[in-house]
């Protein structure tokens, strides 16, 4: 059995994050030692590794919650799990598209500035006027974090 610190080390997850996952019900309540400290076995370790890996791949905690529920029913079809992964892929692709446009605009701005005074700075100028942009990079609707 591992203490929370050892578990965090093993899974490369910070201790408060583990407690947070327990608090929101993503990890089950841990066993406790005589002195009330959390103790973890191999199952908890695997579950945490799954969460960590899915987070590294950009899945939200909600998606991970669903994936974990699904993974508990081995006999069921994996269509739902695959759908979550495909949705995540689509999300990543849309962010990629957006970031690619941003990169182009930022490069243009930076390259075009001759580096004189603020009054003539192309960076400031472009930021004040989207019509100087080459692409329409604007926020389409709600695109969230990561």
Binding residues for its own copies, per CB under 8 A?
Answer: 46, 49-50, 53-58, 67, 70-71, 73-79, 81-82, 84-86, 88-89, 92-93, 95-96, 99-100, 102-103, 105-107, 109-110, 113, 115-121, 123-124, 127-130, 137-139, 145-146
Site for Zn ion in 104-143 (CB under 5 A): 113, 121, 123, 130, 133
Site for Zn ion in 55-94 (CB under 5 A): 78, 82
Q: 39 or 81: whose CB is closer to DNA?
A: 39
Contact 83, 77 (CB under 8 A): no
Site for DNA in 106-145 (CB under 7 A): 142, 145
Q: 33 or 93: whose CB is closer to its own copies?
A: 93
Burial classification of residue 64, based on how many CB atoms lie within 10 Å of its CB (0-12 exposed, 13-18 middle, 19 or more buried): buried
Verify binding: residue 60, DNA, rule CB under 7 A. yes
CB of 76 to DNA, least distance (A): 24
Compute and round to an integer the Cα radius of gyration of the chain: 23
Residue 129, SS3 per DSSP: coil
User: Residue 57: in which H helix or E strand, if any?
Assistant: none
The first and second tokens of residue 94, run together, are: 């849309």
Identify which of 18, 24, 76 has the alpha carbon closest to the alpha carbon of residue 47.
Answer: 18
CB of 31 to its own copies, least distance (A): 22
Residue 30, SS3 per DSSP: coil
């Amino acid at each position: 059995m591992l203490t929370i610190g050892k578990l965090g080390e093993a899974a490369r997850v910070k201790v408060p994050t583990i407690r947070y996952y327990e608090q929101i019900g993503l990890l089950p309540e841990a066993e406790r030692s005589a002195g009330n400290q959390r103790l973890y076995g191999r199952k908890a370790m695997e579950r945490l590794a799954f969460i960590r890996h899915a987070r590294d791949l950009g899945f939200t905690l909600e998606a991970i919650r669903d994936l974990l529920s699904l993974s508990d029913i081995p006999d069921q079809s994996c269509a739902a799990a695959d759908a979550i992964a495909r949705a995540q892929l689509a999300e990543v692709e849309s962010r990629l598209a957006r970031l690619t446009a941003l990169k182009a605009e930022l490069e243009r701005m930076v390259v075009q500035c001759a580096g004189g005074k603020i009054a003539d700075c192309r960076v400031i100028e472009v930021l004040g006027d989207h019509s100087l942009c080459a692409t329409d990079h604007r926020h389409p609707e709600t695109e969230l974090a990561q």
